[in-house]
Amino acid sequence: MDSFSQHTNNENAGDIVFMNTSFIQKALADLQKSKDAFASLLEQAELGDPSAQYELAVRYMEGTGTKKDSVEAFHWFQESAEQGDLQAIAALGRCYQYGIGTLRDLRRAKEQYENAAEQDYAPALCDLGFYYEKGIGGPIDKDAAFDCYSRAAEQEYLPGICCLGFCYEAGIGTQQDLARAAELYAQAAGQGYAPAQCNLGFFYFF
């Protein structure tokens, strides 16, 4: 069967409309697969699988296979976090930080970041480091910020490397060392991390 169909209300060639039905069929098939995957994930999540609960929350956040629903996303992040999933704990912190699916609560956000950071989860270390650096949910603690970023950088986590570079550039929790800052920016930039590339560009520009 021809992948193109045509429809016309008269015999004028200029009125013929061509439609690539193969693209529509593929889109519908992909949509059905997404819905089926969501249903399967929901079943696993309801059985208590923390990984499935986290993935389900992400799908609710993105609207993949279902309608976007930040309240449901928060619920499943919470379910997964209660079972110790580090990704979910950090995500729950961001929900509290930005008021996603729940009331904004910076103190509870910090608690979640601390929980995951205690287990050396690099993204949470960066989130917590930012809290310490800016004094969010408590006093500014530049030494603690530097420590968090250092621990994240030790895991080759690119945002952590970049944040550590900024600490050396600005003298946050350590002595200012522009050479070390440039070295760290170059390390992260070389792996395609855009913020580090921008920071490194400023070094070259100035």
Looking at 1-5, 22-26, 179-183, which range is the least confident one?
1-5
Instruction: Determine the 3-state secondary structure of 5 from DSSP.
Output: strand
| CB contact set of 170 (below 8 Å; sequence gap of 6+) | 176
Query: In the beta sheet, which residues pair with residue 7?
Result: 17
Q: What is the pLDDT of residue 3?
A: 46
What would the pLDDT profile of 121-157 be if each residue is shown by its tens digit?
A: 999 999 999 999 999 988 999 999 999 999 999 999 9
Question: Is 50 exceeded by the pLDDT of residue 2?
Answer: no
Domain boundaries defined on the chain: 38-117, 120-206
pLDDT of residue 180: 97
**Residue 9 pLDDT exceeds 90:** no
pLDDT tens-place string over residues 75-93: 999 999 999 999 999 999 9
Q: Which residue is listed with tokens 């760290």?
A: 184
State the pLDDT confidence band at 17, using cuts at 50, 70 and 90. low
Q: Are the C-beta atoms of residues 33 and 19 closer than 8 Å to each other?
A: no
Poorest-confidence range of 34-48, 59-73, 84-98, 104-118?
34-48
| 38-117 and 120-206: identical CATH topology | yes
C-alpha to C-alpha distance for 96 and 143, rounded to whole angstroms: 25
- The H or E element that residue 4 is part of is strand 4-7
Amino acid letter, 194:
A
The answer to whether 125 and 151 have CB atoms below 8 angstroms apart is yes
How far from 182 is each of 1, 169, 201, CA to CA, in Å?
A: 60, 8, 10
CATH superfamily name and code, 38-117: Tetratricopeptide repeat domain (1.25.40.10)
Q: What is the CATH number of domain 120-206?
A: 1.25.40.10
